[in-house]
Every structure is written in C-alpha cells, then in structure tokens.
Amino acid sequence: MNMNKIRKFFEPSEFMEHEVLRPLSHIRANWELQIDSETGRYLEEEDSFAALFNALIDELATTRPPLRYHDNEDRLGEYVQKHLNWEIRKSGSTWVNQDGSRLHPSNYLSLIEQGGFDNQGIRNLVFAASGRVHAAIRRGQMHFDDMERSHQVILAGALAAILYHREPYKEVKNSNLGEQIVPPAS
C-alpha cells in the first residue's frame, strides 16, 4: 500500500489525539500535536509523543500487514491468559470472561496493552495496528476519523499501547544518538 495513504490516514485529528495520546497524558503532558509546516509531520515538541508517533506512523507505512491481524491480538490475549492468570478464554473468534460474556471493549484494550509486555508483544501490537489500518483503508475509510467506531477504539488502544511500551526507551535511544539527557531541574 502507498506510504502516503498511511500518512494521510494519520493526518491531524483532535479525535485521534484524544483517543490515542490523551490517555498517555500522565506520562507526557503535551498530548496535543502540532504540525511542522515545513515537513507536514508532527512537530517534535518537548514533553510530547510526537517523535514516537511520527516514527510509529513511518513504521506502519512500511510494515506489511498480516493476513489476519486478529491472530496477533490473540497472541497478546494468550500471554495475559497464561502469564497474568486472567480468567478469560477464547470462544470461537471472541475473547470472553469465564461466564462466557464477551469482554467489554475497555477490558479488551487492557488485554492488548498488558499483552505488550510479552517479548513479542510490541511486535504483535504493531502487526495488529498495521492490519487494522490497512483493513480500514481497503474499506474506503481513508482517515482515522472515518473508521467504524468499534475498530477505531481498538486501533487507538493498540497505538497508545505501542507508544506506552516504547516511551521509556526514547531517552535511551536519544542518548545512544549522542544527545545529552538533562534531568529536569528540581
């Protein structure tokens, strides 16, 4: 798929910012993104997820989506089921509670976030997100705001989980690039 279609999918949207970045505001307070007029990318401001989000968009634009992105989400679910002892199970193609009731979307979002702690968790999150983006575009939903709401919620949760899991490593990456990390003034 054309890299520009993926970038256009993530063009500015207050709704996207609210769904993807606002939940992470306890980590980085600057969750409202600005556009760099020269590059058209999100402006990498202090205390912002813009750099990580730009990198994630680039990664999604070059990631070949899996044939069945639900398989990647299932691996995240299997991890929490096995290693975190969640009392959930797979019934057909749906994750359910012990009583057989379908997981509430907020519980499903917790499942994919917690599944990200697995060794292959972030990789599975990226493949799942890529699959959801490509599926939306194939269905004519050319921007995040155009997505079917239920899929939009899960994609937003997957993107937020990726950023959450990668955020602690941003400073390590910056220090490896020769940038000096200065602790905040007390």
pLDDT given for residue 183 in this prediction: 40
Query: Where do runs of H (alpha helix) occur along 84-148?
Result: 105-115, 121-138
Q: What H or E segment, with its residue span, contains residue 8?
A: helix 3-9
Question: What is the domain partition of the chain in residue ranges?
Answer: 3-176
pLDDT given for residue 175 in this prediction: 43
- List all residues 6 or more positions away from 87 whose beta carbon is below 8 Å from its beta carbon: 97, 98
Please give the model's pTM, rounded to 2 decimal places.
0.87
Mean pLDDT of 27-37: 89
Indicate if the pLDDT at residue 121 is higher than 90. Answer: yes
- List all residues 6 or more positions away from 112 whose beta carbon is below 8 Å from its beta carbon: 73, 76, 77, 125, 128, 154, 157, 158, 161
Give 156: exposed, middle or buried? Use CB within 10 Å, 0-12, 13-18, 19+.
Answer: buried
Residue length of the chain: 186
Residue with tokens 């054309």: 2
pLDDT given for residue 170 in this prediction: 60
Q: Which of 54, 70, 64, 108 is nearest to 86 (CA)?
A: 108
Mean pLDDT of 96-116: 96
Q: Three-state SS across 43-83?
A: CCCCCECHHHHHHHHHHHHHCCCCCCHHHHHHHHHHHHHHH
Mean pLDDT of the chain: 89
